[in-house]
């Protein structure tokens, strides 16, 4: 018996004694799917500087090549989100075929309503009807692309807002948004979902038209069942309890997806779980708690969550940074699966504050490395995907791409 075999046997014994079904945990870990963003493979930066790196993909096809490495090594990233027009191509069928040849699918289509000069005063909320029309047409084009590439998700983030009090009517903009989004919503196919992302500031600094989860929720509610809220973990004010937002939206059956990333100060877009892994763990706790809910609608909402990464790698090499994020998500999910929900419930019923807190935290403190090694072995991927990447020679193989690849 090797060291790792004995570590795993010990782990199984320990968890079985706590009432955890390890086989079920393993099955859940193998089922997890995390979508990676095409833009995470390109050059990105801050408003001060975009540092150009060697080997960065020069087009959407090469972004998929890099994403395929992440999926090949982790086994849980089979789809890639596109951002239009960053990923604009002449032939989306061809892009989809390229994805399929790499064992990938194309995922959420992200319209870009923030980089054209026309959008200086906003897009879907703009007081100028011609600009609103242009923004709606772009959304409709994205729905058409989704149709072509067999994607069922449109992820909408709106940069709209104002920089100064009085600049525009906040209520007027709200009405325009409902009107434009209604047209977009009506163009969705029945299998499609519109995920509405919110953010409290940036690029607008006085008010943002979809500034928080409540505003996104209200829009989604008015639009209908195919509209849900997308929680980008970096889009809240300091100290916001993101887990509570997750729980609340799940309970309302309006949580559609995540953009995972980590932050210290604002929308920093750092590697997932790099600054606050406990927050990620607690988010998964809320999701698993909803999974176990007696209400089928809540269960299904939890099952249909689209897990996506939304990161910008300014100073770190992109592919290993993405692998790090994916591994961190898998690790925190594994830990959350070790929470004995019955034990938490029993403590809650006795109003045993410390007992309940302990039942949650205890799971976070286990070392899940032996478990994840076995899961990866059974999935046929390297037990240490990061090491496998570093030893694969892929980083050298893409050096001929040179500097000056795709950037946002
Ligand atoms: C906005 C955002 C949104 C964009 C992405 C590039 O901050 O999170 O999801 O589409 O960044
Ligand atoms: Mn985002
Ligand atoms: Mn963001």
How many angstroms separate the alpha carbon of residue 362 from the centre of ligand 3? 32
Q: Residue range 27-43: average pLDDT?
A: 98
Determine whether 395 is exposed, middle or buried from the number of CB atoms within 10 Å of its CB (0-12, 13-18, 19+).
Answer: middle
- Tokens for 115, please give them: 């980089």
The mean pLDDT of the chain is 97
How many angstroms separate the alpha carbon of residue 36 from the centre of ligand 3? 14
Beta bridge partners of 50: 45
Identify the pLDDT of residue 407: 85
CA angle 109, 115, 120 (to 5 degrees): 130
Which residues' Cβ are closer than 6 Å to ligand 1?
39, 110, 157, 197, 199, 232, 259, 267, 310
How many angstroms separate the alpha carbon of residue 166 from the centre of ligand 2? 28
Q: Residue range 114-131: average pLDDT?
A: 97
Identify the pLDDT of residue 1: 58
Distance of CA 194 to the CA centre of its chain: 14
The CB-side HSE value for 257 (13 A sphere, CA atoms) comes to: 27
ipTM of the complex: 0.99
User: How far apart are the C-alpha atoms of 58 and 42, rounded to whole Å?
Assistant: 8
CB-based contact 105:78 (threshold 8 Å)? yes
Q: Residue range 397-407: average pLDDT?
A: 94
Categorize the per-residue pLDDT at 201 as very low, low, confident or very high, splitting at 50, 70 and 90: very high
Which ligand 1 atom is at minimum distance from the Cα of 232? Answer: 8
CB-based contact 32:336 (threshold 8 Å)? no
Q: Residue range 181-187: average pLDDT?
A: 99
Q: Residue range 84-109: average pLDDT?
A: 98
pTM: 0.98
Q: 246-295, pLDDT tens digit by residue?
A: 999 999 999 999 999 999 999 999 999 999 999 999 999 999 999 999 99
Categorize the per-residue pLDDT at 408 as very low, low, confident or very high, splitting at 50, 70 and 90: confident
Q: 69-91, pLDDT tens digit by residue?
A: 999 999 999 999 999 999 999 99
User: How far apart are the C-alpha atoms of 374 and 379, rounded to whole Å?
Assistant: 9
Q: Residue range 218-228: average pLDDT?
A: 98
């Amino acid at each position: 018996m090797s060291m790792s075999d004995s570590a795993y046997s010990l782990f199984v014994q320990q968890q079985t004694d706590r009432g955890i079904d390890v086989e079920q945990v393993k099955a859940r870990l193998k089922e997890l799917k995390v979508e990676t963003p095409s833009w995470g493979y390109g050059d990105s930066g801050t408003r001060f500087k975009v540092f150009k790196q060697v080997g960065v993909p020069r087009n959407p096809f090469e972004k998929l090549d890099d994403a395929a490495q992440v999926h090949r090594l982790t086994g849980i990233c089979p789809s890639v989100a596109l951002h239009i027009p960053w990923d604009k191509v002449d032939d989306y069928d061809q892009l989809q075929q390229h994805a399929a040849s790499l064992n990938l699918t194309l995922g959420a289509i992200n319209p870009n309503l923030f980089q054209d000069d026309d959008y200086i005063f906003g897009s879907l909320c703009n007081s100028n009807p011609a600009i609103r029309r242009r923004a709606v047409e772009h959304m409709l084009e994205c729905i058409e692309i989704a149709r072509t590439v067999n994607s069922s998700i449109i992820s909408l983030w709106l940069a709209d807002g104002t920089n100064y009090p009085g600049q525009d009517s906040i209520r007027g903009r709200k009405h325009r948004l409902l009107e434009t989004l209604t047209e977009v919503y009506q163009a969705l196919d029945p299998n499609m979902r519109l995920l509405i992302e919110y953010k409290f500031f940036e690029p607008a600094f006085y008010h943002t038209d979809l500034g928080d989860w409540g505003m996104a929720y209200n829009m989604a509610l008015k639009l209908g069942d195919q509209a849900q809220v997308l929680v980008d973990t970096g889009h809240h004010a300091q100290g916001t309890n993101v887990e509570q937002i997750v729980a609340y939206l799940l309970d309302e059956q309006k949580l559609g997806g995540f953009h995972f990333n980590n932050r210290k100060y604002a929308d920093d877009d750092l590697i997932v779980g790099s600054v606050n892994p406990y927050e990620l763990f607690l988010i998964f706790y809320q999701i698993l708690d909803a999974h176990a809910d007696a209400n089928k609608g809540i269960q299904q909402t939890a099952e249909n969550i689209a897990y996506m990464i939304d990161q910008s790698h300014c100073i770190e090499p992109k592919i290993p940074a993405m692998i790090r994020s994916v591994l961190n998500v898998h690790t925190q999910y594994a830990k959350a699966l070790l929470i004995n929900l019955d034990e938490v419930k029993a403590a809650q019923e006795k109003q045993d504050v410390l007992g309940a807190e302990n039942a949650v935290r205890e799971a976070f403190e286990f070392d899940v490395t032996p478990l994840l090694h076995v899961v990866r072995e059974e999935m046929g991927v390297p037990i240490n995907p990061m090491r496998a990447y570093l030893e694969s020679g892929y980083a050298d193989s893409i050096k001929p791409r040179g500097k000056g690849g795709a950037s946002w």
